[in-house]
Structure 1
Amino acid sequence: MNMKESVDQVKQRIEAACKRANRDPNEINLVAVTKYVGMDRAKAVLQEGIQHIGESRVQDALPKWEALQGGQATWHFIGNLQTNKVKDVVGKFSYIHSLDRESLAKEIERRGRQNNVVTNCFVQVNISGEETKSGLEPNQVLEFVKKTSKMKYIKICGLMTMAPYELDSEQTRPIFRKLRQLRDECNQLGLPNVQIEHLSMGMSNDFEVAIEEGATFIRLGSSLVGKD
């Protein structure tokens, strides 16, 4: 399957999921996860009109970013981010999907102040409770949002989670539903400067269920860009 066919097929699946959930497909931001593919496939997916690129390793992402000179894409950092790598991310990546600790927030804030740039951040939440996954526990999120809402160079735009891999994607529904409920709870606090709009959830094996449960950003690798 070539890139155009792959993109068209994914868009059709997005539209079908939106129809089931009575949602507008324009609400769904499709992030092409290019961490496992080289420059040619990254360029190809951009040429098919995909605007969002997701990378999870700084050392792999920077050569692509530099070769494309940022390109027409909006860049998303979706992996675990070490504080000593923040300097390479702030100013290049418009979104960070893995804000999960206060030390990281402080470093993003510091680098943002130096560069005079505000970074959109998703708070990563470990809804499933798996030890292998990063993220705050659900009961830590509200207090964390309160603290970060006072920072000037971080905009908490959403919450992010990763569901366990399930052969039956329907099994992931409670995970996605819980994240949506948690977002609503945060917004009900009425905190100054806090209006959490987005939910980053859903990957190649479960994105349709995530859309049905309110996802606004889905992160697709193998089902969209394939593999080299």
Structure 2
Amino acid sequence: MMNPNAAPNSLENPVADTMANRIAAIRQRIDHACARVGRNPAEVVLLPVSKTFDESAIREAVGLGFHRFGENRTQEIAQKTPVLLDCAIEWVVIGQLQTNKAKEVAKLASELQSLDRLELAEALERRLQLEGRSIDVLVQVKTSPEESKAGLDPAHLQDFLQQLAQFQTLKVKGLMTMAELTPDQTAVRACFTKLRMLRDQAAQEAPAGIELARLSMGMSGDFELAIEEGSTEVRIGSAIFGSRTKPI
């Protein structure tokens, strides 16, 4: 017989698995990571990554105060934009971008975090001029040894920044990277450390108009390490929205 005076079992009263609670838990982890290295949590932006998630999930996140959302594919942005016009969403492209998708980015996105080659910059410049728009961009740098990872060769960063200074519609705001996919936290941290050091070095010689204050690094599985190494923006998908049921 159950003892009516016994303390309740925590397993019988779990914290509800809601988006609001998941976000609160992430923010608490951000706070703790900042505290470990003496940073202000206000310095770290949380970017929800809504790729593969539907309109209802995005609307729920909007109701919780978010209006910037990361997406990998311009096709998804094109599909979601018409049904979410009332939400005043700013779309951030975070996936590797083919040059022939520059038209969609110029029309629909407010920011691109995966700029990694001159050919793409030129295509974006042409399309943005036609649209009469400009967008913020981050340069994606390859700091992982994995061949599958995209990004600019770190050795070419300074030259690339010099080239980007000529483009009027591309507002360079910082750098982005993806860490090595490994359980080895030392290896993961090294990817983030490398980007921060590259940024610090590049900032000393950055041409006029090029800003490098932002470091977009860290995802659901490694964002605390990224924050400890200087990330100013973490890109979080499944830890906010739950497990994906569609392929990425």
TM-score by length of 2: 0.87
Report Cα offsets for 1:127-155 as digits up to 9, x if no partner. Answer: 11321011111101110110011111111
User: 2:204 aligned with 1:188, yes or no?
Assistant: yes
The aligned counterpart of 2:232 is 216
Task: Work out whether residues 129 and 137 of structure 1, in 8 Å CA contact, stay in contact via their aligned partners in 2.
Answer: no
User: 2:167 aligned with 1:151, yes or no?
Assistant: yes
Which residues in structure 2 correspond to 1:57-68 (within 5 Å)?
57-68=73-84
Task: Work out whether residues 67 and 87 of structure 2, in 8 Å CA contact, stay in contact via their aligned partners in 1.
Answer: no
Match of 1:35, SS state, is coil
Q: 1:73 to 1:28 in 2, by over 3 A?
A: farther
**Percent identity for Structure 1 against Structure 2:** 38
Match of 2:53, SS state, is coil
Which residues in structure 2 correspond to 1:32-181 (within 5 Å)?
32-69=48-85, 71-181=87-197
Deviation at 1:36, TM superposition (A): 2.4
Aligned positions, number: 228
Computing the radius of gyration from Cα coordinates, the structure with the larger value is: 2
Q: Which runs of 4+ in 1 moved over 4 A?
A: none
Match of 2:39, SS state, is coil
Deviation at 1:170, TM superposition (A): 4.5
Task: Work out whether residues 100 and 123 of structure 1, in 8 Å CA contact, stay in contact via their aligned partners in 2.
Answer: yes
The aligned counterpart of 2:12 is none
| Counterparts of 1:223 and 1:140, CA distance in 2 | 34
Q: What amino acid sits opposite 1:180 in the alignment?
A: R
Q: What amino acid sits opposite 1:217 in the alignment?
A: E
| Counterparts of 1:39 and 1:170, CA distance in 2 | 38
Report Cα offsets for 1:51-87 as digits up to 9, x if no partner. Answer: 3200001112211122111723332101111111111
Report Cα offsets for 1:36-56 as digits up to 9, x if no partner. Answer: 211111111111112320000
Greater RCO (Cα-Cα under 8 Å, separation 6 or more) = 1
| Counterparts of 2:146 and 2:170, CA distance in 1 | 27
Task: Work out whether residues 45 and 233 of structure 2, in 8 Å CA contact, stay in contact via their aligned partners in 1.
Answer: yes
- Stretches of structure 2 that go unaligned for 5 or more consecutive residues are 1-16
TM-score by length of 1: 0.95
Give RMSD over aligned pairs. 1.4
